[in-house]
Amino acid sequence: MIRISKRAANIAASATLAVSAKAKQMKAEGIDVVSFGAGEPDFDTPGFIKDAAKEGLDKGLTKYTAASGAPELKKAIAEKLRRQNGLDYEPSQVVISCGGKHALYGAFQVLVEPGDEVLLPSPYWVSYREQIKLAGGKVVELRGQEENDFKLKPEQIVQAINERSKVLVLNSPSNPGGFAYTPDELKAIAKAVVDEDIIVFSDEIYENLVYGGQKFVSFATLANGLIEKTVTFNSLSKTYAMTGWRLGYAAGPQEIISAMGRLQSHETSNPVTFCMYAAIAALQGDQSCVGQMRDEFAKRGQHMWQRLNAIKGISCIKPVGAFYCFPNVSDCYEKLGVNDSVAFADAVLDKINVALVPGIAFGWDTHVRLCFATSTEQIDKGLDRLEKLLS
């Protein structure tokens, strides 16, 4: 009789990855599936980045480097953070991980003690909750209001802080909400928390994906002293269409970053060496690919949002960041004879072969998430089917 540890048994598999795996499997079986599942750009990684990886292979960059990442890439990341984000970190204050997901995992592991509270704005990205649980932390969900585009007011955050609070997670632009705090809104939060005894995790992985005049600012720049209590997370995945390369990073206070490096020395040894050299090319090369992809996502997001709101029973806030629509579909449950977001997503996949992620994975059982990082033709095909099903 095999007994899985309680720690692992309590962990749910990632719903976002599960939905896309199922859609891929159905496609392999010849079914014409439209997938709005996992959040990843449909674009190929830009050629100059691939070339740098090939060059790295040819140069023999195929050996171990350093557990916390190659020094040359740390330097390039510190320069990027200074140049683009106004954040002043030494290269030693950067840890490179196998994806932003891995960086977040490590940060929760090195900071959170059993029983510590982590304030998690909701809707939240699916993996935060499980990662907090794996560290023994207690999730304190701070639910946003849909009328306010799911955004929290500073008072709501401050009221939830007590002596057990360890970390506040911020993710703007948001997965799954598709909202982004304005600089002023974020500044108000910064002002409210800067004197609190709490570490802020600012997940800025969608920093380049903001639309319609929305502006991005890095949280740690917004109040004096905030940089000493903020860990900034980012990744190559979304900005450069590099989800499969598994490269992300965190920058923050030296004690936290060093501890994450020690942890990684027993976990992963180092992120893939020749990929790290390609990442230097990505960060230092011509950035026009980033804007081109963003402009395309902006059009698709607007189109998906308009079409969703035209479907009977569906209402959706306008996405101004990331690449997700997060509509409320609960008024359609009766029509499909379902009671929750999992049954809704199952019914949609079964009946019309459209894959979407149930909102319960993000804390909202009245909603579903659709990723619009796919072609307009696919968006129209999927939404034509959904419109017909729900009419």
Output the smallest distance, CB 17 to ligand GLU, in A: 5
The sign one gets for the Cα dihedral 297, 299, 303, 305 is positive
For residue 1, give every residue at least 6 positions away whose Cβ sits within 8 Å of its Cβ, in sequence order, or none: none
For residue 4, give every residue at least 6 positions away whose Cβ sits within 8 Å of its Cβ, in sequence order, or none: none
Minimum CB distance to ligand PMP smaller for 125 or for 277: 125
Q: Of residues 210-249, which lie at the interface with ligand PMP (CB under 6 A)?
A: 235, 237, 243, 248
The only residue of 105, 108, 125, 305 in contact with ligand PMP, by rule CB under 6 A: 125
Rounded to whole angstroms, how far apart are CA atoms 200 and 163? 15
Minimum CB distance to ligand PMP smaller for 125 or for 274: 125
Q: Which does 235 bind (CB under 5 to 8 A by kind): ligand PMP, ligand GLU, none?
A: ligand PMP
Q: Is 171 in the site for ligand PMP (CB under 6 A)?
A: yes
Output the smallest distance, CB 241 to ligand GLU, in A: 13
Rounded to whole angstroms, how far apart are CA atoms 97 and 279? 12
Q: Is 207 in the site for ligand PMP (CB under 6 A)?
A: no
Output the smallest distance, CB 385 to ligand PMP, in A: 26
Rounded to whole angstroms, how far apart are CA atoms 51 and 278? 8
Q: Which residues would be at the binding site for ligand GLU (CB under 6 A)?
A: 14, 16-17, 38-40, 101, 125-127, 175
For residue 39, give every residue at least 6 positions away whose Cβ sits within 8 Å of its Cβ, in sequence order, or none: 16, 175, 238, 322, 323, 324, 371, 373
Q: Is 353 in the site for ligand PMP (CB under 6 A)?
A: no
Minimum CB distance to ligand PMP smaller for 105 or for 305: 105
Rounded to whole angstroms, how far apart are CA atoms 204 and 289? 19
Output the smallest distance, CB 100 to ligand GLU, in A: 8
Q: Which does 14 bind (CB under 5 to 8 A by kind): ligand GLU, ligand PMP, none?
A: ligand GLU
Element (H, E) at 76: helix 71-85
For residue 291, give every residue at least 6 positions away whose Cβ sits within 8 Å of its Cβ, in sequence order, or none: none
CA 324 to chain CA mean position, Å: 11
Residue facing ligand PMP at closest CB distance? 99
Minimum CB distance to ligand PMP smaller for 37 or for 386: 37
Q: Which does 17 bind (CB under 5 to 8 A by kind): ligand GLU, ligand PMP, none?
A: ligand GLU
CB 367 within 8 A of CB 123: yes
